[in-house]
């Protein structure tokens, strides 16, 4: 009799533990194979934008110098202020999510990131996409220019040159944007996320290694405080629906493209180290390309 009672008790305990695990996660735990595929894919997706963005950064920097335009770069003051500005923005989002309905906030953010994502993806794909358009396609050059100020104090706010082929590429990328708006599919999310990461590494320039060290050091303490010291970062990350992270399903082998148990990696963990690596590559290309520079200007 006692054995029956003990067995029934153990069975009920096991059932309760299983129900609690299901209610807590809402997902089937990942298999070792699925986790290996997911995290391996995230590693490859993290390396790719750093590699492509760094070489695009070299090309962009060269084009800026040849055109005589001043290269925008982060100064030491900018690097020191960046964690503070990011903290204000993060806490602001946290307050918004606490006060207002996250559905309405995410609706606004989705529209905003749809616009940015289409532009970012078009900027990446345009050099490749235009090669597949027939030469017989009617092409016309355009120049969008918006300035402020007068005389010697005039400054360019928008200075963008494009062609009909670029417009076709933009329309093509808008298809992926509509897919993201409609389904919020993880592949569409990753396409936008990769585009953001590549553009970030390409266009965000550090002026020297010391600036990079200041930036990385400040973000080190930023992460410690907001991730481990408070629940702000976790709350915003769970509420924020935008392509600001790369995701890959751990249950892809079981559910295919409909998988929903995701491993994720934030774009900041890609772009911040990536702009530092891009700085080192630009220095290496400049040093070995015959345009000698004093090492002090980089260090």
Per the annotation, the verdict on 258 as an active-site residue is: no
Report the chain's C-alpha Rg in angstroms: 24
Query: Cα separations (Å) of 4 from 7, 8, 16, 82, 148?
Result: 5, 6, 18, 65, 85
Greatest Cα-to-Cα distance within the chain, rounded to the nearest angstrom: 98
Per the annotation, the verdict on 284 as an active-site residue is: no
The catalytically annotated residue of 223, 231, 251, 258 is 223
CB atoms < 10 A from the CB of 53, how many?
Answer: 27
CA dist., res. 201 & res. 89, Å (int): 21
The catalytically annotated residue of 3, 72, 78, 269 is 269
CB atoms < 10 A from the CB of 71, how many?
Answer: 11
Q: Among 46, 50, 217, 199, which Cα is nearest to 116's?
A: 199
Q: Among 201, 173, 170, 188, which Cα is nearest to 55's?
A: 201
| Spatial contact of 105 and 96, defined as CB atoms under 8 Å apart | yes
CA dist., res. 67 & res. 60, Å (int): 11
Q: Among 122, 243, 120, 244, which Cα is nearest to 173's?
A: 122
User: What are the catalytic residues?
Assistant: 223, 269
């Amino acid at each position: 009799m006692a054995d029956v009672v003990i067995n029934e008790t153990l069975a009920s305990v096991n059932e309760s533990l299983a129900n609690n695990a299901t209610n807590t996660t809402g997902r089937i735990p990942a298999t070792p194979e699925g986790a290996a595929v997911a995290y391996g894919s995230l590693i490859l997706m993290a390396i790719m934008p750093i590699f492509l963005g760094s070489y695009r950064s070299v090309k962009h920097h060269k084009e800026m110098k040849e055109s005589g335009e001043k290269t925008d770069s982060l100064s030491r003051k900018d690097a020191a202020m960046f964690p503070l500005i990011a903290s204000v923005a993060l806490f602001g989002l946290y307050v918004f999510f606490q006060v207002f309905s996250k559905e309405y906030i995410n609706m606004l953010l989705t529209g905003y990131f749809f616009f940015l994502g289409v532009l970012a993806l078009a900027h990446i794909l345009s050099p490749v996409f235009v090669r597949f358009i027939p030469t017989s396609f009617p092409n016309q050059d355009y120049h969008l220019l918006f300035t402020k100020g007068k005389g010697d104090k005039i400054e360019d706010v928008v200075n963008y040159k494009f062609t009909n082929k670029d417009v076709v590429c933009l329309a093509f990328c808008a298809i992926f944007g509509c897919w993201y708006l409609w389904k919020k599919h993880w592949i569409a999310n990753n396409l936008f996320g990769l585009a953001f990461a590549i553009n970030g590494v390409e266009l965000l320039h550090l002026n020297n290694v010391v600036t990079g060290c200041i930036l990385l050091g400040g973000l080190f303490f930023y992460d410690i405080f907001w991730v481990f010291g408070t629940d702000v970062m976790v709350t915003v990350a769970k509420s924020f629906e935008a392509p600001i992270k790369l995701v890959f399903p751990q249950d892809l082998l079981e559910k295919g493209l409909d998988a929903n148990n995701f491993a994720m990696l934030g774009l900041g963990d890609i772009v911040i180290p990536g702009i530092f690596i891009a700085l080192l590559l630009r220095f290496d290309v400049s040093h070995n390309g015959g345009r000698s520079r004093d090492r002090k200007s980089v260090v």
